[in-house]
Structure 1
Amino acid sequence: MTGEGRGIVSAWAELLRLPALFTVPGDVLAGAATVPGRPGPHTLWAIASSICLYQAGMALNDWADRAEDAAERPHRPLPSGRVRPTAALTAAGALTATGLALAARAGRPALTVAAPLAATVWAYDLGLKRTPAGPAAMATARALDLLLGAATVSGHVRPALSAAALLGTHTLAVTTVSRHETQGGSPLTALTALATTGALALTLGRRSGDAQVPPESAHLTACGHGPAHPLRAALAVAYAATAARPYFHAALNPSPPLTQKAVGGGVRATIPLQAALSARAGAPVSALITAALAPLAARFAKKVSVT
């Protein structure tokens, strides 16, 4: 690849925040783990749909923020001229259409969830993120992404509402911190996110008495072993460790660099959170698959920022 070609690839990887892409499949897998039924090919279509809709949101985000970024982050792909605004907007539209088509391929229940998910993504990027409703809108998008997995496997989302609420709560905390990452946040916001992380970690570590055991772990139960409590506890600790330290540092000094690190830590913590939700639902295979994405996210985060 020529130097120009590498530059184009690098610009789009930065625009789409490539490391954050690894936080997406775990949403669908965690949702699928909470309902009766066995994940199959339709689940892969749902994951592909989720990835497309997430990337659409990334491209649309920079298109909507191009004027603000020109003043505060001129190095970003659009204000620096490495990606044209029309190309970013076109990509957002194409990715959204592709995501909805893939959801339709996964089944009507999946499309029923993917449609409001896409609408939430566009509503957030085009206006809601600049209002007090912004963090709640982003939390809703993440929760819907998890429900997409549940709808794809069973056609029902009610058993997944608890897991969706936990994921949404984490996303709410991260997004609230991120609202002032370029100017610097406040100690109270970071402390609130830290307390939220601790509460979620404790919830994840407790046995879920009403969790249903999906077919992928049924053979473990038949052999006299329940859902792996040590795995669930280890993932809950990994979640807390990933998010808590940067939140604590941002609480002590809410400067832009430390606030940005806190946001990055919160985004990366999404992966062990998703894995813990799968383990909590009695799906250790899904939990391990999701957890395996964390090293990949960390590796790419050294080259491309997740925020």
Structure 2
Amino acid sequence: MSRSRAWAELLRLPALFTVPGDALSGAASTGAPPNSRTLLAIGSSLCLYEAGMALNDWADREEDAAERPHRPLPSGRVQPSSALTAACALTAAGLALAARAGRPALAVAAPLAATVWAYDLALKHTPAGPVAMAAARGLDHLLGAAATTGRTREALPSAALLGTHTFAVTTVSRRETQGGSSLPPLAALAATALLTRLVARAPRGTQDATPTGTGARAGIGARSGVPGGAGRRTSAHERPGLTLDVALRTALAAAYAATAGRPYTHAALNPSPPLTQRAVGGGIRATIPLQAALAARAGAGLTAVAIAALAPIGRRYARKVSIT
């Protein structure tokens, strides 16, 4: 049990639940339902994410010995060589799963793996660190789109939104053991407000009057079937699905804002190490409702609900193992 817990801490098990939503929301952004290749993309994402977790602690083992001696490597519960071996094996597994999903998926997974390794080994403590993390999360989102349909173009806008959130969280995390500055959590709070506004409204080129689940894009007015009403857009009262679409998107956007915004506010008011670490944890957990909101924004309500269901599971494990 002690060894299992050490590995759960090393791999930050609760954070694992923030990963499947990348591929699922990426697939949703293309307008295609998830398929078997989407599952392969999720498997690849999980492996590459955990490879980054293991490599992160291996690269930071000396720093953690001074600042966080309770971590698995400095405490001696996991050997550094074991962590490095796990990182290599998980990276290979992630690339193999992506290859099974097809060449487009591998073409995204390869730079994703390179970004993970570059961040942990070279970029983490440089100004390029948050950019690299944002790129990794965005690429993970594109991996789901590439595996599902072979295309990534439609997923680029939502990948940028997800990357912006990750950039904000990473910027705050750079001071999680020292604290002392209100600027990063304030900037992250502003980014959260902007992202909430963007994901709560219908994407450009669509209208909320489009029926739910039909895959139809707005701009094509629904025919009323009433003489003299040709081309009239159906009202919200006539389309119950419209109200459900808007309600789901709004609820998920609100959940995202609350999950990230509250700890960011506390850290901005008192940038102590404990509150800064809570802000980082809140930002990581907020990734799930953001992914779900992106899926709902793309019209994939069932996918959005499935992603959102991962949040309570992650919270349950976070009570036992730290997410940061």
Identify the TM-score tier after normalising by the shorter chain: over 0.9
The equivalent of 2:194 in structure 1 is: 199
1:228 aligns with 2:223: no
Question: Which whole-Å CA distance do the structure 2 matches of 1:290 and 1:171 have between them?
Answer: 17
1:11 aligns with 2:6: yes
Deviations 1:137-184 (A, max 9, x none): 000000000000111111111110100000000000000000010011
Question: Which whole-Å CA distance do the structure 2 matches of 1:243 and 1:229 have between them?
Answer: 21
- Residue 217 of structure 1 aligns to which amino acid in structure 2? G
The equivalent of 2:63 in structure 1 is: 68
Unaligned runs of 5+ in 2: 223-237
The equivalent of 1:218 in structure 2 is: 214
User: Out of 134, 141, 145, which is 2:136 matched to?
Assistant: 141
Contact persistence 1:23–1:267 (CA under 8 A): yes
Aligned partner of residue 180 in structure 1, secondary structure:
coil
User: Out of 270, 273, 280, which is 1:256 matched to?
Assistant: 273
The equivalent of 2:262 in structure 1 is: 245
- Residue 96 of structure 1 aligns to which amino acid in structure 2? T
The equivalent of 1:93 in structure 2 is: 88
Contact persistence 2:31–2:298 (CA under 8 A): no
Aligned partner of residue 133 in structure 2, secondary structure:
helix
Kindly tell me the number of residue pairs found equivalent between the two proteins.
300
Deviations 1:10-53 (A, max 9, x none): 00000000000000000000100011433211110110000000
Contact persistence 1:15–1:76 (CA under 8 A): yes
Question: Which whole-Å CA distance do the structure 2 matches of 1:82 and 1:202 have between them?
Answer: 44
Aligned-pair CA distance for 1:305: 0.6
Deviations 1:161-213 (A, max 9, x none): 10000000000000000001001141111111001101100111111133699
Question: Which whole-Å CA distance do the structure 2 matches of 1:180 and 1:298 have between them?
Answer: 23
Cα distance change, pair 59–211 in 1 and its aligned pair in 2 (3 A): farther
Contact persistence 1:63–1:88 (CA under 8 A): yes
TM-score, normalised relative to structure 1: 0.94
User: Out of 29, 38, 41, which is 2:36 matched to?
Assistant: 41
1:279 aligns with 2:296: yes
Aligned-pair CA distance for 1:229: 1.1
RMSD between superposed Cα atoms in Å: 1.9
1:296 aligns with 2:313: yes
Aligned partner of residue 214 in structure 2, secondary structure:
helix
- Residue 95 of structure 2 aligns to which amino acid in structure 1? L
Contact persistence 2:264–2:279 (CA under 8 A): yes
Contact persistence 2:186–2:268 (CA under 8 A): yes
1:118 aligns with 2:135: no
Contact persistence 1:250–1:259 (CA under 8 A): yes
- Residue 41 of structure 1 aligns to which amino acid in structure 2? S
User: Out of 152, 163, 171, which is 2:147 matched to?
Assistant: 152
The equivalent of 2:231 in structure 1 is: none
1:30 aligns with 2:30: no
Cα distance change, pair 26–279 in 1 and its aligned pair in 2 (3 A): same
Contact persistence 2:215–2:299 (CA under 8 A): no
Question: Which whole-Å CA distance do the structure 1 matches of 2:213 and 2:43 have between them?
Answer: 24
Contact persistence 1:183–1:255 (CA under 8 A): yes
Question: Which whole-Å CA distance do the structure 2 matches of 1:253 and 1:88 have between them?
Answer: 35
Aligned-pair CA distance for 1:220: 9.5
The equivalent of 2:161 in structure 1 is: 166
TM-score, normalised relative to structure 2: 0.89
Aligned partner of residue 56 in structure 1, secondary structure:
helix
Contact persistence 1:34–1:211 (CA under 8 A): no
Unaligned runs of 5+ in 1: 1-5
Question: Which whole-Å CA distance do the structure 2 matches of 1:203 and 1:36 have between them?
Answer: 19
* Matches for 1:178-189 after TM superposition, within 5 Å: 178-189=173-184
Question: Which whole-Å CA distance do the structure 1 matches of 2:180 and 2:42 have between them?
Answer: 33
Aligned-pair CA distance for 1:219: 7.5
- Residue 178 of structure 2 aligns to which amino acid in structure 1? Q
1:268 aligns with 2:285: yes
Aligned partner of residue 130 in structure 1, secondary structure:
coil
Specify which structure has the higher proportion of helix: 1
Question: Which whole-Å CA distance do the structure 1 matches of 2:57 and 2:47 have between them?
Answer: 16
State, as a whole percentage, how many aligned pairs show the same letter. 69
